[in-house]
Structure 1
């Protein structure tokens, strides 16, 4: 974001003063949403020493001129402000209004916080890159303890703009007004839990295309509608692809069943489960929509996939030695688009070159633990920066990477990433990942390119989970519920597509 600020000023000729004025005005609108009655009241503005503090001073001026009783506290010496922040200090003081300097926690009286109808957090902006300590930490704790509604300017102070990590202490906001573009730190936890409602304010920054950083996009339902392909009136099953699923083992046959059912629910024309005979006997006795093929050697597997449109490898597969060879060879040698999940990924740890050497598109769908195994790091490191981890794995594998979890990330080897805003904690139960693999596999079989299939599959899966939670509640949600609600989600998407 600092790069975009710089380019707006230097290349577009937009004065920094203008950007700061627009940012402060955006905060005013948010504050008025939280004020009682006639949209006037007591507002406490807590400023830092940088441009974020300048945004707060602009907000204070406009709130004061609009009839609010405004108190401004600045953490440090107001004389030390520079640039546009100093300009807005002078404008505020030119109205005869004081800036109270906070050099110790006691300089911000508890009664000033408690009596405020709304607090504006303008302490730190996107430039924060080290833990909050000392005075700032004490002030943030005092604001949180008071429990007054907080409007955060750009993002809650103490939250990393890039990862959502809490850097020491962080403000808990009721509403965050972020400037120009949505920050990753407002999407990923724990930062997302502190942001409250998020508003994106256009303050005149250039589009993200101006940035040299890898681009990150938020998935939207319009993306689904744009990619849905209407079915012709004379459609037949052969038009919607045949998915092969290498999955299931003695103690995990259900994973294979969920995956196959999900592929068909996602619209695949045909689905065949490839598994050992005992698994087929258990799974197929309850299956009426998909077929089975006996798992023999790799050469037979290769033949079984010939002429098919896609392959899913891994759900409930197990890690027997014979399975290892099949999976590793499949990653490199099977010439159809293929998705690797669960044990299909575990058996590739240390052998990611097999994916890089593939001649057909590949998708990998790890949860944080599996991603950590593939990246030779800890799950905590993966979770600390989910965007970076997904991008790193995409580069290492040459595959479209789906990093599952709260705010699932889909990243491609070129560095472009998409974040899914949907989904809920009820989906944190066994089997939902198998359903996701089946959905994406079904979309691959229908001819969607791997990046598109991954994005669509992730979003449809999350929306089905949300629909199921609306009807049945989050607690006790099971993977099979997603299968029931997925067709309803697809129906609604199809109805939103203009037909001409």
Structure 2
């Protein structure tokens, strides 16, 4: 084998990277590593074949080092490594080339992993009937916290904007006036104990509950989660997850005892690690998608949030979201997301589809608004997105 020298790149107009393919499953070392590092130091345009050398096509992990491509030409369909960080950051402009593979192959071998796009769930997106009324569009209950009241306000408004017919904040008596001074479109009910909370969520009109945002890590949150799961489809976020940090199996058993998968949990990676301790212990060797898959035993939809949010179903179906915006990294953004998902669930959308649609709408809001976005802006821009999506 000839010895590699950086002078090989001199006077080169473009580099075609085909060092390694999608079957790579070990770290790149030696000559391959040397070539990639020297190539990345140049400003020469690079086109990668199928996937940049060094990117794990199944997980997006970097296997030692990876080519930084300007364009990546892949075949038939994108691979997970094109959609997941850090590999996504190496791919540049991904283009899918038709090489004659018939898409009818999906009939016999349906893929489990998809890029999250509206075509996957738009057919089942809730659209109001001409003769419908507010109760047909569902009644969402959002549990409010005593001190951090902004979180439940943001989530409630997002549930309304995503189509819920009615939204009620179940508020501790001490903070009920704070909630009542908010949007006149949102109802407020006082809850002083678990029995009063149960009475509210057991109403026939209530079709979904959100617990967690601003609720506090305390016994009240713990008890409400376990009670709500038995009554209605639930979205569990923030404190509703962290409260089970010391006893995750209690939550897992409660979810697994449900005959149907009616619940959605929305952890970011930090919250995920607190819940799924065993799975996260090997985080250094597991990618984000591998972590999400390893947690699918709990009989709930998992929304593992981040720049490349992953939505998983207990059936093994996985959607990877790709339209996120860095401007969504702002206080209260996650509360809005949980409210959007709740708003879709109460209208009758299945939890996995509601989670997928909610994540996409959330990402699209951030992408459209751009610089200067704060959490309050996310829900306000949803109507503009929905007009283009469903009208």
**TM-score, normalization by structure 1:** 0.72
Change over 3 Å in CA distance of 1:464–1:383 after alignment to 2: farther
Aligned residues of 1:368 and 1:383 also touching (Cα < 8 A): no
Equivalence for 1:90: none
Name the structure 2 match of 1:425: 326
Cα pair 1:328 1:348 within 8 Å, conserved:
no
1:357 pairs, out of 254, 257, 270, with: 257
SS at match of 1:309: strand
Residues 454-489 of structure 1 deviation map (CA, whole Å, 9 limit, x = unaligned): 1111111111111111xxx2xx42111101111111
**1:325-368 Cα shifts (integer Å, max 9, x gaps):** 2223333x22x111111111112342221111134511111111
Structure 1 128/358 Cα, relative in aligned 2: closer, same or farther at 3 Å? Answer: same
1:389-435 CA deviation, whole Å, 9 max, x = no partner? Answer: 2222222x200111111111111001110111111111011111110
Asked whether 1:372 is paired with 2:273, we answer yes
Question: C-alpha displacement at 1:379, in angstroms?
Answer: 8.9
Q: Which segment drifts farther, 350-359 or 410-419?
A: 350-359
Q: 1:150, 1:173 within 8 Å by CA — same for their partners in 2? A: yes
Which deviates more, 370-379 or 456-465? Answer: 370-379
Aligned to 1:465: 366
Contact kept? 1:390, 1:409, Cα under 8 Å:
yes
Structure 1 segments, 4+ long, off by >6 Å, are none
Moved more, 450-459 or 260-269: 450-459
- Mapping for residues 30-109 of structure 1, pairs under 5 Å: 76=1, 102=2, 104-106=3-5, 109=6
- Of 274, 287, 293 in structure 2, the residue corresponding to residue 391 of structure 1 is 293
Question: Is contact 1:401-1:410 (8 Å) kept?
Answer: yes
Residues 1:406 and 2:304 aligned together: no
Shift of 1:141: 1.1
- 1:204 and 1:288 mapped to 2: Cα distance? 57
Which one scores higher on RCO, CA 8 angstroms, separation ≥ 6?
2
Tell me the residue number matched to 2:336. Answer: 435
- The match for 2:112 among 215, 224, 247 is 215
1:247 correspondence with 2:144: yes
**What is the aligned partner in structure 2 of residue 482 from structure 1?**
378
For residue 311 of structure 2, give the secondary structure of its aligned residue in structure 1.
Answer: strand
| Match runs of 1:76-475 below 5 Å | 76=1, 102=2, 104-106=3-5, 109-110=6-7, 112-205=8-101, 207=105, 215-223=112-120, 225-250=122-147, 252-306=148-202, 307=204, 308-331=206-229, 333-334=230-231, 336-349=232-245, 350=248, 351=250, 352-359=252-259, 361-376=262-277, 377-378=279-280, 381=283, 384-395=286-297, 397-469=298-370, 473=371
Distance 1:266 1:379 in 2: 37
Distance 2:121 2:389 in 1: 7
- Structure 1 unaligned regions, length at least 5: 1-75, 77-101, 496-500
Contact 1:276/1:295 (8 A) holds in 2: yes
How many residues end up aligned between the 2 structures? 381
Q: In structure 2, what is the equivalent of residue 12 of structure 1?
A: none
- Unaligned 5+ segments in structure 2 are none
Asked if the contact 2:235–2:263 (Cα under 8 Å) also holds between the matched residues in 1, the reply is: yes
What is the alpha-carbon distance in structure 1 between the residues aligned to residue 156 and residue 89 of structure 2? Answer: 35
TM-score by length of 2: 0.92
Aligned-partner Cα distance in 1 for 2:233–2:12: 58
What is the rounded CA distance, in whole Å, between the counterparts of 1:266 and 1:423 in structure 2? 18
CA distance, structure 1, for counterparts of residue 354 and residue 287 of structure 2: 24
Change (3 A) 1:317 1:383: farther
Which structure is higher in helix share? Answer: 1
Instruction: Provide closer, same or farther for how the CA distance between residues 383 and 239 of structure 1 changes in structure 2, counting only shifts above 3 A.
Output: farther
Q: Distance in 1 between matches of 2:314 and 2:43?
A: 44
Larger Rg: 1
Please list the CA deviations of residues 241-276 of structure 1 after superposition, one character each: whole Å capped at 9, or x if unmatched. Answer: 1011123231x1100000000000001000001121
Query: d(CA) in 1 for partners of 2:98 and 2:48?
Result: 16
How far, CA to CA, are the matches of 2:323 and 2:284 in structure 1? 20
Kindly indicate whether the alpha-carbon contact (under 8 Å) linking 2:212 and 2:221 is maintained by their aligned counterparts in 1: no
Q: Matches of 1:244 and 1:204 in 2, distance apart?
A: 50
> How far apart are the structure 2 equivalents of 1:224 and 1:181?
19
